[in-house]
A and B are shown apart, each in its own frame.
Chain A
Amino acid sequence: MKNIYIVLTAAMMLLASCKEFQPVFTGEYADPAPYEVVTMEPTHTIAELAAMYVIEKPWVIDEDIIIEGKVSTTDQPGNFYKSFYIQDETGGMEIKIGKNGLYNDYKPGQTVYVKCQGMSLGMYGWKKPGTYNGEPTGGCGMVQLGYEDPTEEYETSYLEIPLLIDKHVKRGVIGDEVQPVVITEADLPGREDTQEDNPYVGRLVTLKGLKYANETFTLLYLDSNKDKKASSNRIFLSDQTWGITTWAMSEAKMKEYLYSGIWDNCKLGNSGDQNYGTVGDRRVVDEVTGEVSYPDIEKAAYSVSQYFKMGSTEIQIRSSGYSKFADTEIDPAVLSGAKTIDVTGILTLYQGSIQFVVNNITDIIVND
């Protein structure tokens, strides 16, 4: 009898050692170990890397460059999407990852090392400087790290592939979140500045005492499935407020604005090519139900730039229609100019203009 037990036990042990029997005998799985914390020696600062960029010449990095920075943004509230910024003392830079929910994998305050070789350094938002109606236009956008884009639609594309992301972006220690630097109007970058020239570009900063400038900018499409660059497919809500009192607009809010008729006078088309009638021309009223609709205009979430002034400098606070705070109303006292705001966010440039992007609505404080 004893022998039978020995044989049975031996048989069971033999089975248990078999790989395919693992799930049979494994009721519980032990928790995996936490990630190993990576430490690397950076070869360049962010400003030094940005300095290697030449306008309109995206560069597939062929040198062994490593940068180090702390994650300063989060995509949790949805105002940043598919990428995050890292920053050191010299500047901040967007790393174009291309996945959702990045804040789960790269925590705000976490040190990240980027092995740049094989990645692409490019600029988003460059426009040749010039003047329009006596005002300077154009200028730099942001130098970013991403991957090459053979379509040449953008200078960089997202890394996207998990293997590529993990090859280039290494997780270091999770530290305290980045503390913003309070800067003055004088610290703000010029139209043709990059991280190379101004230490605050791409970094988390606080701007104080911003006053509403009674102007918004939103670009709507008639059909985003059609050519987005075609003038006939575009509606610019710009140069005035158009009744937009929220930081951005979700699809539901956009419909609310549209159906209320406040945009009916807005002309379709690019400035200088506004030959496609007005929004109001697209209004349809159901004869039976009286229901209003605009079948031609794409109902979607849209980003909004709300214009403010810091002293005499224009600051666009740009927020995504997909952010969780998109439909938050701006305090009427701010809109009327009675109150100013302090904002903390990433200082970016787009075609030479300052676009300020907050992580969350709590980064906008209304002053008494």
Chain B
Amino acid sequence: MIKRLSLFIAALLCSISLFAQTGEWGGVKGTVVNRAGRTPIADAALTISQNGETVAQATTDAEGKFLVEGLPNGMYDMAIKVPGYVDAHVNVTVEGYVKDMIFLGMVAVQQVNDVDASSFAEFDMDDSGYSDTPTILFGSSDVYSNVAGYGFSSVRFRNRGYNSETQDVYLSGVRMNDAMTGYTPYSLWSGLNEAMRSKETTMGVEASDYGIGGFNGVTNIHGNPASVRPGWRFSVLSNSALYRLRLMATYASGELDNGWSYAFNVSARLGGNDWVKGVYYRSFAYYAGVEKKFGNVHRLSLVTFATPGQRGAQNASTQEVYDLMGDNMYNSNWGYQNGKVRNARVRKTFEPVTILKYTATPSDNLEASATVLWRTGKNGYTALDWYDAADPRPDYYRNLPSYFYMDDEDYDRQNYTKYAWAKEMWTDRSGEYDNYQHLNWDRLYNVNYNSAGGRSKYALEERRVDQNDINVAANVKWRASDWFTLTGGLSYKWNRTEYYKQINDLLGGQYYLNIDQFAERDFAASEALIQNDLDYWMNNGKTAEKIYTKGKYGYDYYANVQKADIWANGTFKIAGFSGSLALSAGYDTFCREGMMRKGLFAGVDQVGNPYYINMANGMVEALAQPKEGYKLITTYDSNGKAITSKGKSEVSEFFTYSAKLGLAYSFTGGHRLSANAGYFNDAPTFNQAFVSPRTRNTLVPNLTTQKTLSADLNYQYNNNGYSVRVTGFYTNIMDQTDVMSFYDDSQNSFTNFAMNGIDQRHMGIEIGAQVPLPVKGLSISGVLSFGEYIYTSTPFMTQTVDNSAEIIFDNQPVAYWKSHPVYKREQLADGSTVIAMDLDGNPVVEKQQKHYVPSTPQLAAALELNYRTSSYWFFELSGQYFGNSYLDMNPLYRTDMAVSGPDGIASPVEIEYMAAQEKFDPVFLLNASVGKSWFIHRKYNFGFSLEVKNILNNRNVKTGGYEQTRLIDSAGKDRYYRFDPKYFYMQGANYMLNLYFRF
């Protein structure tokens, strides 16, 4: 079969070349220039190839000009290589004459932007219910993406306001978005910049060759050895914002004559930074790949990589704490242990990925590939856990001055002396009070030393999310004719992920006990109910399990996820007209499988019998019928279904589909007009589907697919060094679900808000423009992103607590989620203002204040001045402005309950106070960079780049945060006050210096 196939392919190739030879002859000419500033590039190496075979080679002259003649008519690939620039490929069609390509713009390798995309400070959002995964734009040919992609990452800009999970990231043709959360998984390959540099991107609703994608672009990282830039490369990078030192070495063979190529890339990222104490990196990364080309048709590659290591996380605090510490970068996660900084929150990962890819190009018009990708390993996150002991966090609200005194008497906090003492404790900088201002490890150890029987009261837990993820993807690209190309594919994902906690460090104690702390307070009477592992307790003579280092405890469950997709995309190009239609259909399914039976959610046994406590001896038994002296402990949901922690949940199934349409017309003179539209019906992710996944199998009510309608309209102009894009976009997202888990210290547990029916509308414009200036080598770029991203529905919320069967809110509306009324004020004769009343005595609503999609500037603008010399110096100066950024909202504060207060009456003042959303101050930032490359004998390349960000040292830039989940009663018990929100701030002035050597 294979023999016959190859014979057929050979015949096909022959006929193509025969066809080519019967036609006329032609050529190609043009000028290679630096795209920024249009400086001609001399000595650029051009290689023209067809079917993988080199047909012609050329170099540009001093003015950057080249000419290649004597080519048979046909399609060619022209590769342009210039040291210091990104390799470029151009498709050339020879049609009987010497085609003038005019300018071929090369993009300089952005040596500055060398801290890779995933290197964001790890913000400790685990207990806050929010995610913190910024979206990152790639794309070297688009001015907007170039400027916004890396340049806006410091303010955690999300393009078009979309969440990270909307951005599709492919690796070797396999969609890599996390199966549990949908998040972009950059951390899997962070530190492997060189191996993962080669990528293709689409923007917005545009379809791609790897999958039809969603509405926030598709990035495909090639990741195969042949795509890694050949040669050796060593670099040393130092930066002051994240980690001090990065060492990296890369080698790629390029494609050898025998068809083999291989590559490796290793790196170490080490150290702390200037701004946040306790944040550090001890991260390593490796990549190794080998690829073999068999003849002209087959290609097989095997790649494996991972980023083993750990890094300390940063925590958010309230403004009060930042002010007391005189530092908006204060991090409450660390303390001194024997004089050394120790961070309690450390991310520890080792998740190797292995990729086997087969590619076949049986003809110039047909390319097919099949990839198998396996991701496995462990992902841990340490945190303090404590049992029946005081809250160890230094910035616990009861340790703060505001807990003792507030100016507003309605807070009922009037102990000024204690306020002064608490302030003293926080503001003394002598070092004497370090153990109050930071974690007090000495105390935690001493409590454990003195604990009866060696039982640890404080311990470091490690929350583990260990994935096993197998993907199979097959893609075909068929250029059916000159004007029509069809791509399509199939993909299948199988994922089984274990979520559990284990003991990381007993902190001087001997063991930890596997029981539920808060449950103990509420269910003191029944020992069975407080067990995290009821089965163990029953099988071991009513004793709770003692947990030692590395022992699992607390919760243990699997997520089982499967996804299958089929898709096709047809594109046509007739004269200036092009268009595409893409369709996909899929099937998603998931379920939870609990491994521990929690006393509170005992559920039923194998034959469906509920559990009872024998009141005589406290033992738990499953019984078919109620019995005298036995008390039922199994609880039921409103549908009469037993709430259960162990065993498999019901299986959720979703049919998904999407459709995309794109149309474009290219005018002469470099103008292009295009429009894209898409409709998407996506399944919710596993982490949005369960009301309290750590403890029970209960699904979020009304779980349904998320529907999105998105469209954009684009105008582009590329000519004479000018590059402009203007885009208008409109996106409507409907029926989203979201589950937020907050650590609630009043309950000593996680409280979960499961929301459904969240709708959002994103609309706005994007502008990117690059303009060459009269001075040679100088250009100016400007970008603008201006939008309105708002909530448009009243979602419903179910609130649960991990350690209680009680449903606090049972699918109740979050009345003030999308907006809140602002009331009209009237001025009285004495100059004071009151709320205006209508004739019926009701307050007059002036307007409905919209609530915005948070954690990204909705207005972002930048102006960049770029100067490059022909001797490889470059200088960049950029000014950035960000505005209209909002704080994440806690749904609790937008409920009728919170707005009404203890008296149940919602007054205008309460509504305006409680439901309001905080808007951050706008920001102006100034950044600059400089760099130079030296080439020695055109063989060795040495260079450096230095970037200084936030030159104005603005230390008051909020990049995000969250609202707490607690309410304060007023003195008059007639209203609630909020707890202060917690914020993350951007670093002040910081540098990045990169030195590299290539040969």
Contacts and interface: CB of A to CB of B under 8 A. Distances in A.
A149 B413 CA distance: 11
Nearest to A327: B525
A101 interface: yes
B820 to A, nearest CB: 24
A18 B271 contact: yes
Contacts, number: 144
B450 interface: yes
A24 B416 CA distance: 43
Given A100-B390, A163-B433, A226-B973, A21 B272 contact: yes
Contacts of B421: 161, 163-164
A104 B449 CA distance: 10
B524 interface: yes
A99 B390 contact: yes
A172 B404 CA distance: 29
Interface string A210-230: 000000000000010111000
B432 to A, nearest CB: 10
Nearest to B342: A29
Contact of A101 (B282, B388, B445): B388
A301 to B, nearest CB: 9
Contacts of B280: 20-21, 23-24
B338 A24 contact: no
Nearest to B310: A23
A322 B522 CA distance: 8
A33 to B, nearest CB: 8
B341 interface: yes
Nearest to A326: B524
A181 interface: no
Interface stretch (A194-202, A245-253, A257-265, A305-313): A245-253
A76 B418 contact: no
A127 interface: no
B436 interface: yes
Contacts of B442: 32-33, 35
Interface in A1-59: 15, 18-24, 26, 29-35
A251 B521 CA distance: 10
Interface in B364-407: 388-391, 398-399, 403-404
Contacts of A226: 902, 973
A21 B337 contact: no
Given A19-B341, A21-B272, A252 B417 contact: no
Specify which of A23, A107, A328 lies most central, judged by the most chain B CB atoms within 10 Å of its CB: A23
A324 B519 CA distance: 11
Interface string B434-458: 0010000111011101110000010
A150 B412 CA distance: 11
Given A21-B244, A24-B280, A151-B415, A323 B524 contact: yes
Nearest to A60: B417
Contacts of B457: 101, 104
B398 A324 contact: no
A227 B974 CA distance: 11
Interface in B711-762: none
A252 B523 contact: yes
Interface string B260-302: 0000000000111100011011100000000000000000000
A107 B524 CA distance: 22
Interface residues of A, number: 51
A162 B902 contact: no
Given A20-B273, A22-B341, A250-B522, A162 B417 contact: no
B389 A104 contact: yes
Contacts of A251: 522
Contact of B508 (A19, A31, A99, A252): A31
A23 B342 contact: yes
B445 A161 contact: no
A105 B457 CA distance: 11
B4 interface: no
A100 B389 CA distance: 6
B524 A78 contact: yes
Contacts of B415: 148-151, 157
A330 interface: no
A107 B244 contact: no
A32 B441 contact: yes
A225 B337 contact: no
B238 to A, nearest CB: 11
A324 B520 CA distance: 8
Contacts of A323: 524
B388 A76 contact: yes
Majority DSSP secondary structure for residues of A touching B:
loop
Contacts of B969: 225
Given A20-B280, A21-B244, A24-B282, A326 B525 contact: yes
A79 B281 CA distance: 46
Contacts of B939: none
A150 B851 CA distance: 41
B340 interface: yes
Contacts of A161: 399, 404, 418, 421-422, 425
Contacts of A164: 418, 421
Nearest to B391: A100
B422 A151 contact: no
B425 A163 contact: yes
A147 interface: yes
Contacts of B272: 19-21, 23-24
Interface in A253-308: 253
A21 B278 CA distance: 10
A23 B524 contact: no
A356 interface: no
Contacts of A32: 337-338, 441-442, 445-446, 508
B424 interface: yes
B129 interface: no
Contact of B390 (A23, A31, A101): A101
A107 B448 CA distance: 12
B414 interface: yes
A227 B403 CA distance: 21
Contacts of B390: 99-101, 104-105
B159 interface: no
B337 A23 contact: no
A225 B338 contact: no
B566 interface: no
A351 B507 CA distance: 45
A15 B271 contact: yes
Contacts of B388: 76, 100-101, 104
A251 B449 CA distance: 34
A187 interface: no
Contacts of B399: 161-162
Nearest to B339: A22
A89 interface: no
Contacts of A100: 388-391
B312 interface: yes
A331 interface: no
Contacts of B398: 160
A23 B341 contact: yes
Interface in B323-362: 337-338, 340-343
Contacts of A250: 522-525
Contact of A29 (B338, B389, B522): B338
A80 interface: no
Interface in A108-126: none
29 contacts: A15-B270, A20-B280, A21-B244, A23-B282, A24-B271, A29-B338, A30-B337, A31-B445, A32-B337, A32-B446, A32-B508, A34-B446, A100-B391, A101-B389, A104-B388, A104-B447, A104-B450, A150-B416, A151-B414, A157-B415, A160-B398, A160-B404, A163-B424, A164-B421, A225-B902, A225-B973, A250-B525, A325-B524, A326-B525
List the 6 closest A-B pairs by CB distance, nearest first. A20-B272, A101-B389, A163-B425, A225-B902, A327-B525, A324-B524
Given A20-B341, A174-B450, A323-B524, 9 more contacts: A22-B340, A29-B338, A32-B442, A76-B388, A105-B390, A151-B414, A157-B415, A162-B436, A325-B524
